Copies of this chain bind each other. A is one copy, B any other.
Amino acid sequence: MSELRKDPITGRWVIISTERGRRPSDFGIEKARAKGGFCPFCSGNEDKTPPEILAYRQEGSKPNGPGWRLRVVANKFPVLRVEGDLNKEGVGLYDRMAGIGAHEVIIESPDHEDTLSTLPPKHFEEVLWAYRERMLDLRKDFRLRYGMIFKNHGETAGATLEHSHSQLIALPVIPHLVMEEMSGSRDYYHYKERCIFCDIVHQEIHEGERVVLENQEFLAITPFASFSPFECWILPKRHDCSFEESQASMIQPLAAIFSEALKRLERALNWPPYNFILHTAPFAERKLEYYHWHFEIIPKLTRVAGFEWGSGFFVNPTPPEQAAKFLREMEGF
């Protein structure tokens, strides 16, 4: 089992994986584990993963066999488990609870050679549909407060398997950075009576210099205070706080801009490792005026020194205006 512990000073929650309990000699073996000829995510190896929770498959094909285009399965090495009670308790001044939650893997394609950015448009849309469907299902569990969807692409971005996949972790607490975004944007709303993300969308469209791509519904920008070079956000232009509750008609234009942004980042940066994370409202929130869902894509280009994640203070060597200009001017491929 794992447990969730709260830093009493900053209020951040950490998952402590007591089950794995890695000893000193266990570190440094990751590289070896990541390679190898066999892939449990490839078509034909369905019995090597936990049973599918959701799949988009050919009519007539059977669950947990070939014929699928996309599968969602439980993570075989989950950081949290669905079974059990939260058992919240205090230990002196500390707080902890059981590691309850869901940890799922979205296998984006049966083909080992596919990457998210090379999927045909309809297939990319299905990935987004799967995110949405799983979020809508998991939010029914009253113990869970937040659904975090993310992708680690490439070994240095944290991917332990090469086959293209994303992950969903549903948590019984709200992640720190989401809390920060919520409270920052709430403060702004109280002061201005406007959503700060909507104001950002307006200012960026007006100024133009940090815009990477735009379509009828979405804007892709390199944010003003990008903490990482070539960081890229995709935001709906109209106010909306919850990804999974957004209109079905948003999926097609989202897939289009997302795919194009990834293609440009990959070409510009020579197919870098990258991460993306969905930022959306907590499960319990409905129709928030001040919060605005978006995806953040972070190419992994610089080595994050410990002082940066230990201080929260980042140095970004590429001004976002330069990054946006570069990505904007990549045409015709």
Which residues of A pack against B, CB within 8 Å? Answer: 5-18, 20-24, 26-28, 30, 79, 91-94, 148, 150, 152, 156-158, 167, 171, 175-178, 180-181, 184-185, 188, 196-197, 199-200, 203, 206-207, 223-227, 229-230, 268-270, 272, 274-277, 296, 298, 300-320, 322, 326
Chain B contacts for A269, CB-based, 8 A? 24, 27
B176 near A318 (CB under 8 angstroms)? Answer: no
- Of B7, B27, B150, B272, the residue contacting A311 (CB under 8 A) is B150
B9 near A185 (CB under 8 angstroms)? Answer: yes
A148 near B307 (CB under 8 angstroms)? Answer: yes
Q: Across the two chains, which residue of chain B brings its CB closest to A275?
A: B306
B310 near A14 (CB under 8 angstroms)? Answer: no
Most chain-B CB neighbours within 10 Å: which of A6, A26, A148, A175? A175
A298 near B304 (CB under 8 angstroms)? Answer: no
B320 near A306 (CB under 8 angstroms)? Answer: no
Bound Cα distance from A300 to B152, whole angstroms: 19
The copy count of this chain in the complex is 2
A306 near B11 (CB under 8 angstroms)? Answer: no
Bound Cα distance from A5 to B225, whole angstroms: 5
A177 near B315 (CB under 8 angstroms)? Answer: no
B27 near A93 (CB under 8 angstroms)? Answer: no
- Of B24, B270, B274, B311, the residue contacting A24 (CB under 8 A) is B270
Bound Cα distance from A277 to B306, whole angstroms: 8
Bound Cα distance from A6 to B196, whole angstroms: 14
Chain B contacts for A197, CB-based, 8 A? 9
Q: Across the two chains, which residue of chain B brings its CB closest to A91?
A: B224
B150 near A310 (CB under 8 angstroms)? Answer: yes
B304 near A309 (CB under 8 angstroms)? Answer: yes
B177 near A10 (CB under 8 angstroms)? Answer: yes
- Of B26, B223, B303, B322, the residue contacting A30 (CB under 8 A) is B303
Bound Cα distance from A19 to B308, whole angstroms: 20
